[in-house]
Amino acid sequence: MVRMTEQFPFIAETTSLPLLSSMCCVRRGENFRVQGKTVSRPMLCLILQGDGVLALNDTVYTAQAGSLFVLKPGTTVEAAARSNVTEFILLSMDTVRLQQVRGEWKMTSSSDFPLDWQTGRLLVRHEQQVVSRLESLYETYRGLQPDHFISIHSQLHELLQFLSENRLEANYEKVDPALERSIMYMRRFMSEGISMDQLAKIAGLTPSSYSRSFKKAKGMSPTDYLNRLRIEEAKKQLTEEHCVLKDIAVSVGYGNEYYFSRKFKQTLGIAPSIYMKRDQLRVATASIMGFHENLTSLGLHPVAVFEGALDRETDENEYERRIIEQFNQLRQAKPDLIIGDFYHKPYYDRLKSIAPTLLLEPAEDWKSQHMRLAELVGREKQALLHFKELEFHKFEAGPSLQSYFGTARIALMEITNQFIRLQGANEHPLNNLLYDELGLQRAQLLPPDISRYEYTADSIPLLDTDFLFVHRASLQPASEKAFRRMKQTASWNRSTAVLHGNVHDISNWHLLCWNPEGRLQILNELQQIIQQASAYPHASLIMIGP
């Protein structure tokens, strides 16, 4: 047994011996789908050919040739192929757990994955070597090589060892086994005092080298990482019935509940006492980014909606009257928590005098923001489910949208009481959906570094686009007047979109794109455009908005 441990050093860490249970190579044609299959054994899945979407426990991944996935027992799998041919290898394992009792080794079967890897995509270096090793193991499993019964388990161990040594972080930095040992120590002993010297010693590095290596690999310092582990563990315990803050504080290494509460609020923005009952809170929003729409899509209707950003087209006296009215409504609603965006920082003191208030900083993308909101109200599962539904809907709608629009250019316009706004080409969730995810073609009406540009009705540039999608932000007479004035200009009447009847009214896509339900509505409106264009091929203006 010692010799085996030396040959496969990862066994010493996990005290588990993986054994090959079965392998198969699956090849399917177009329209290949997998719906709601549950994995019963630890598995690896390698995509050899094709591309599509793969959902593991409602988390969606892009699947393409060379992608390797870890499937732990209990994982629910859904998949849809985009290509005409899909081919992949499935490797199923059994795990024998080894334990030394009074000098003797005892073995018990286990359904756990033999290594501490999470369900999802496994990033590795040398992808082609991974493919070669798995294909070679498959040939051995099929009995095409001599002594295959002896060599298959040896090849499996070598494969897992190779993957373990060549894993990559999310930032594509190589996973360092020394750092992983220190992280295992953090997880195991987080309830105790852990020093930088201890962690560096475990990793076999000096404290300064350890700190530099850790930050390069994980994007944060060891201290911040340990704090995140402690907060994540605390969050799990806070969702349990009859939990006690003092006990949780001690179990995750914060010593007392006051220090724990301070660190928790620094990290999440709300106190642990609020987090404990997050799925029962009366929540209000203070946002111009549609936070109330995010919460509604998660099944939670805010008790009040506050929108305090100044609109240049609103009279100042009318604006002040509206703010006072909204604050009165907010007080009457008596929320337990107010969630706002960074545009409402000027109102923070007044908001927090009504209820605990959290103002979210700008998120990297719409998904991060939506997931953050979902966590604050205890609806992460609903958010993941909506993400999955959206991805599969995009998958199904994509071919018809690309077939209809093809290489035609599209442009987005918003009409207000005073201005005509054109959507630019900058990084924005709406642009990402239309041009990156759906593959539609953007009309170059504005310089690439401009997000949106405003024009008066009679000063718009030539609308050199094949399709024009128009959102009317207001239906007041002033807005209708601006629209009529614009339609009298040469820039409008010379537009290819206008000449060919490809002008379409739309909802507020600029706001809808920040949550899954809104993005689904955008997809539905695009599909509706196709349907109505077929029904009314000679219409000059098709109205689909509300």
Strand partners of residue 121: 69
C-alpha distance from residue 395 to each of 62, 103, 301, 436, 488 (Å): 11, 57, 29, 13, 40
Confirm whether 368 is domain-assigned. yes
Same domain for 183 and 154, yes or no, is no
Same domain for 49 and 139, yes or no, is yes
Number of folded domains that form the chain = 4
Q: List pLDDT tens digits, range 86-119.
A: 999 999 998 887 776 666 777 777 777 878 889 9
Tell me how far apart the alpha carbons of residues 137 and 189 are, in angstroms, rounded to a whole number: 38
Q: Please name which of 318, 373, 316 lies closest in space to residue 341, comparing C-alpha atoms.
A: 373
DSSP letters for 463-482? ---SEEEEEES--SHHHHHH
212 CB neighbour count, 10 Å cutoff: 13
Same domain for 450 and 530, yes or no, is yes
Q: Which amino acid is present at 148?
A: H
> CATH number, domain at 306?
3.40.50.1980
Q: List pLDDT tens digits, range 46-100.
A: 999 999 999 999 999 999 999 999 999 999 999 999 889 999 999 999 888 777 6
Same domain for 200 and 266, yes or no, is yes
With tokens 């993986």, the residue in question is 18
- Structure confidence at residue 150 as a pLDDT band (50, 70, 90): low
Do residues 86 and 50 make contact, with C-beta atoms less than 8 angstroms apart? yes
Q: Which of 275, 290, 321 is the last residue of a domain?
A: 275
- The pLDDT value recorded for residue 293 is 95
> CATH number, domain at 205?
1.10.10.60
Question: SS3 sequence, 232-301?
Answer: HHHHHHHCCCCCCHHHHHHHCCCCCHHHHHHHHHHHHCCCHHHHCCHHHCCEEEECCCCHHHHHHHCCCC
Q: Is 338 exposed, middle or buried (0-12, 13-18, 19+ CB in 10 A)?
A: buried
Confirm whether 472 is domain-assigned. yes
List the single range of 111-115, 131-135, 389-393 with lowest mean pLDDT: 111-115
Q: Which of 378, 402, 417 is the last residue of a domain?
A: 378
Same domain for 138 and 198, yes or no, is no
Q: List pLDDT tens digits, range 478-508.
A: 888 989 999 999 999 999 999 999 999 999 9
Same domain for 404 and 528, yes or no, is yes
> CATH number, domain at 102?
2.60.120.10
Confirm whether 107 is domain-assigned. yes
Tell me how far apart the alpha carbons of residues 61 and 71 are, in angstroms, rounded to a whole number: 13
With 90 as the cut, is the pLDDT of residue 534 above it? no
Contacts of residue 453, Cβ cutoff 8 Å, sequence gap at least 6: 421, 422, 424, 446
The two tokens of residue 469 are 């999608």
Same domain for 154 and 8, yes or no, is yes
Query: Containing domain of residue 205, as a range?
Result: 177-275
Alpha-carbon torsion 536, 499, 430, 413, what sign? negative
Tell me how far apart the alpha carbons of residues 8 and 13 are, in angstroms, rounded to a whole number: 10
Confirm whether 423 is domain-assigned. yes
pTM (two decimals): 0.85
The two tokens of residue 86 are 């899909």
Same domain for 160 and 12, yes or no, is yes
Instruction: State residue 357 phi and psi, 5-degree precision.
Output: -125, 135
Do residues 454 and 486 make contact, with C-beta atoms less than 8 angstroms apart? no
Q: Is 182 exposed, middle or buried (0-12, 13-18, 19+ CB in 10 A)?
A: buried
Contacts of residue 303, Cβ cutoff 8 Å, sequence gap at least 6: 282, 283, 284, 333, 334, 335
